[in-house]
Amino acid sequence: MNVHKFVLPEIIFGNYTLSQIGDCCLRLGASNVLIVSDEGIAEAGWLDKVVENCKEAGLKYTTFTDITVNPKDYEVEKGREIYLENHCDAVIGVGGGSTIDAAKAIALLSTNEGHIRDYEGVDKIKHPLPPQIMVPTTAGSGSEVSQFSIILNSEERKKMTIISKSLIPDIAIVDPETLVTKSTQLTISTGIDVLTHGIESYISLAATPLTDVHAKNAISLVGQYLRSSVASKYNKEAKTHMAMASLQAGIAFSNAILGAVHAMSHAVGGRYPVLHGDINSILLPHVMEFNLLANPEKFADIAYLLGLKDPNISKMEAGKIAIKLVNELIEDIGAPQKLSELEVKDSEITEMSYTALHDACMLTNPRDVTIDDIEQLFRKAW
């Protein structure tokens, strides 16, 4: 009998659940919290709501909003200084994947010595982290339930993947109401990130029956609701379903890990300040085409999850249709389709290929990958 491990935090899902954040802190024994967010969340008003709720609960608090897209090592280390200077005893992260990854990394450094780059890789954390409560405001990263933190090494211009059970937050509060303030561009980018998480975790070498159920539901929900979520920021049905898709995709990939799309995307994101989901939208169809040979049965499942009705075709043919349906979705919502659109330089492809080959996400890709394979995929996508 195979042995499967499956981890996740306490999850609170539903409209207006943001109001529970103060009570959640008290349940975890917190009294003085560091609230990690960013300027966009502050401008949208969500940071004020969190602060107000913390005040109502009688909590002391400090805010830290100096987080940017693709969070940097020096931003995390500045956050650690603020946490320690103010004698905080818990971390709240409010924002998209960048903010939540940074909040988890700050929590890591608040009880562990050294620099954040010392913890790149798997299970490098030695000491327990303080209580963590994460509130995603995009339907995208799934970081609020994952054991990952992705932080940019600013000196080496590469994203570091930090993996540890310690990074799984204590409580994830998923409030679909927060999605109504997101721009169309961010809705597109984060939505494709959800789809990529669902697909990569479903075909991962580390996938299990426990992860498959979440991955499949995430893929299906994206196929049904991403277009309408992009079309209107006020479509609450679509926002709720996309929030659930993001949550379930996060649960899936936290336990099954990912694959070549994310390994390559991290390599690009380490060098260019572009949205992670935009890179995924460009790479996903090409990597799917490459990986099809490894598991046509699961690729066929993806096609049916995305709307294929004909049950009388071969698994390989259905798998090819899955790629076609993903391409159609990307085109319909106006997501990027070429790396050149993001001003990625052709001259950097070889070096990015070497970076991608050594990314932790490459270990669970279903098909063996060589440096030449990665370079060829990058060039197809360019």
pLDDT in tens, 247-305: 999 999 999 999 999 999 999 999 999 999 999 999 999 999 999 999 999 999 999 99
CATH annotation of 10-178: 3.40.50.1970
pLDDT of 19 strictly over 60 = yes
Q: 3-state class of 121 per DSSP? A: strand
Rounded Cα–Cα distance for residues 167 and 315 (Å): 38
Distances (CA, A) of 237 to 176, 230, 299: 9, 12, 28
pLDDT at 2: 74
Rounded Cα–Cα distance for residues 298 and 321 (Å): 12
pLDDT of 47 strictly over 90 = yes
Give percent above pLDDT 70 in the chain: 100
Distances (CA, A) of 257 to 55, 139, 142, 222: 38, 19, 12, 19
pLDDT at 376: 98
Over residues 102-126, mean pLDDT: 96
| CATH 1.20.1090.10 placement within the chain | 182-381
| CATH 3.40.50.1970 placement within the chain | 10-178
pLDDT at 149: 96
- From the number of C-beta atoms within 10 Å of its C-beta (0-12, 13-18, 19+), residue 128 rates as exposed
For 182-381, which CATH class? mainly alpha
Rounded Cα–Cα distance for residues 183 and 197 (Å): 21
DSSP state of 144: G
Q: Which pTM was predicted?
A: 0.95
CB neighbours of 309 closer than 8 A, spacing ≥ 6?
Answer: none
How many C-beta atoms surround the C-beta of residue 60 within 10 A?
A: 14
- What the block records as the tokens of 310 is 């004909």
pLDDT of 1 strictly over 70 = no
pLDDT at 308: 97
User: Mean pLDDT over all residues of the chain?
Assistant: 96
pLDDT at 5: 81
CB neighbours of 151 closer than 8 A, spacing ≥ 6?
Answer: 71, 72, 73, 76, 101, 102, 105, 116, 159, 160, 162
Instruction: Indicate the helix (H) or strand (E) that contains 95.
Output: strand 90-95
